[in-house]
Amino acid sequence: MYSLMRSRSVSCDSFTFPVVLRSVSSLNEIQTGKELHGVVMKMGLYSKLILQTALIDMYCSCGSTDSARFIFDRILERDVICWNTMIAGYVKCGEFNKARELFDQSPSRNVSSWNTLVDMYCKTGDIEIARQFFDEMPEKDIITWNAMLSGYAKIGECESARKLFDQMVKRNVVSWNILITCYVHNRRFLEALDLFRMMQVSDVKPNEVTVVSVIPACAHLGALDLGKWIHGYINRNHIKMDVYVNTSLIDMYGKCGSVEEAKGVFDNANVKDTFLFNTMIEVLAMHGRAEMAFGIFMSMRKEGLKPNEVTFIGLLKACSHVGMVDTGLKYFEVMREEFGLTPKVEHFGCIVDLLGRAGHLQEAYGLITKMPMEPHPVVWGSLLGACKIHGNVELAEEVALSLVELEPQSCGNYVLLSNIYSKAGRFNEAVQLRKMMKEKGVKKQPGCSSIEVNHVVSEFFAGDRAHPKCKEIYEQLDKMVKRLKAEAYEPCISSALHDVDMNEKEQTLVHHSEKLAVAFGLISTDNRTPIRIAKNLRVCDDCHIFMKMVSKYYDRQMVIRDCSRFHHFSNGSCSCSDYW
């Protein structure tokens, strides 16, 4: 428009150039900016402070702080906006010492001057200096508070962020979004959901950033009802259903166990990009729907979208979960030969998992030794897990040694090998390994299962007695065990990890977190309601047998997500066909 204006000989004035210079800044076209600088001088407008300030901003935005400072130093009467622009320009270009030096020289400051420094120190992680500036400010606005809040969130200081948030007299949607995101990034999902509920009764409406932040909390906790409510809220309030929101919803529905809802969002998405297709493939893979995942991949190709490395990770996982070894190896070749993608360590990990689950342990081990890069602990971990499935203690010991060298403080490696020893009846070795963990200060991650009832998420740990309905839950669990034993349920003692007597082993197994969650689900919901549980660790053999029998003799559908995949229990069988 400016070029058209000039070609038609329409006069420009001091209000024209600041706007055009902002466009130059956005496009990072410094040569065009220099030409405009020359035009301003030729027109005799250079002495205007508004134009000098605009030129300073343009040069800083294009990375030339020296040119900006040349202009700044020759301005005889600078106002606070001019000072702020030069200070902000230094910050924008990462020249933080010069920004601080100029701030200290500034004869007058307003709230924007202070905000720039607070924001700068927050972004550089110097939170104590940022707080010092924050406390010294003569006045603060919402931008100040949000900058400081964001600084605490960036370094994971949830308590400090919450304390500051509670002190705010006025909050906007950005304030709420920062704290919700802080909780989610630090895996404090229940607190994120509680904060979202608080937001509902405040005078601030959530936006697309809010829902994209809070949906992962629902996904992690398996809070399907709340996730559906948020989806409905998005529709009712006409929040933009962009690709980010749709991708988050597909991931949430998938992780909450509802493949149909995830597919519905996918089918109704107006714009589908590679990330959306990848998410849908990943969801289907988690649920063992390999053929559907392959179908989505074919649709992706028909749409003309090029698959990337993440696409093939999803496809390889889909093959692994159903034991389709030949198909998985074919996709591994396709990604290299047809699409020119170089396999990364994650792809080799998927192939090791695929081979290992299918019992090709030596072939999987051979692949690891021939990998073109250093094997990642996850790759060795996949093979160690396969050793547990197939009871190969000798290979497990060799793999575990490699893992302990790579990750000496990772509890999972010790626990998995300990489980393998216990399953093989080698309890002395298991006990010795547990002692070694204690000596090295390695702590076992406790099993935790969450279940949503009436929009409230409850979490259970093994042997947990903290729930308000603890008495009723344990009574229900005792009844379930008695009934299932009458129906030929035999506890899978090999899943008990310690060399103790049979009664103690049974008690340990009975009080696993997912069993407590199922008992709570049975006493808290009607017979038509599916029970959905999310667990942070792999479901043990005994719990898997137990859940199949509960689905049959209590006529309940159950969906359990563990750290590896989904299990849909119905009428005495599981969707994984006991292959997990």
For residue 180, what are the contacts with CB-CB under 8 A and spacing of at least 6? 192, 195, 196, 199, 210, 213, 214, 217
Q: CB of 419 within 8 A of CB of 388?
A: yes
pLDDT band at 19 (very low <50, low <70, confident <90, very high): very high
d(CA 406, CA 388): 20
**C-alpha angle 519-522-523 in degrees, rounded to nearest 5:** 90
d(CA 515, CA 474): 10
Residues 59-96 pLDDT 10s: 999 999 999 999 999 998 999 999 999 999 999 999 99
- At residue 391, the pLDDT reads 82
Lowest mean pLDDT among 20-29, 132-141, 159-168, 443-452: 443-452
Using alpha carbons, select from 389, 395, 318 the residue that is nearest to residue 359. 389
- At residue 455, the pLDDT reads 79
**Rg (alpha carbons) of the chain, rounded to whole number:** 30
d(CA 416, CA 146): 44
d(CA 162, CA 182): 10
* Mean pLDDT across the chain: 90
d(CA 281, CA 380): 25
The DSSP call for residue 495 is: G
511: pLDDT strictly greater than 90: no
pLDDT band at 435 (very low <50, low <70, confident <90, very high): confident
Looking at residue 79, its amino acid is D
Residues in the chain: 580
Tokens of 150: 């964001």
Percent of all residues in the chain with a pLDDT value above 70, rounded to a whole number: 97
**Domain 364-444 annotated CATH 1.10.530:** no
**C-alpha angle 210-213-215 in degrees, rounded to nearest 5:** 100
Tokens of 350: 């998927």
Q: How do 448-453 and 456-461 pair as beta strands?
A: antiparallel
505: pLDDT strictly greater than 60: no
Looking at residue 145, its amino acid is W
**Which segments of the chain belong to CATH 1.25.40?**
364-444
Q: CB of 61 within 8 A of CB of 22?
A: no
Using alpha carbons, select from 379, 107, 103, 106 the residue that is nearest to residue 119. 103
298: pLDDT strictly greater than 80: yes
- At residue 269, the pLDDT reads 93
**Which neighbouring-strand residues pair with 558?**
531, 569
pLDDT, average across residues 329-350: 93
**Which neighbouring-strand residues pair with 391?**
none
d(CA 323, CA 354): 7
Give the SS3 label for residue 527.
Answer: coil
Tokens of 46: 């250079």
200: pLDDT strictly greater than 70: yes
Its pTM stands at 0.76
Lowest mean pLDDT among 413-422, 483-492, 502-511: 502-511
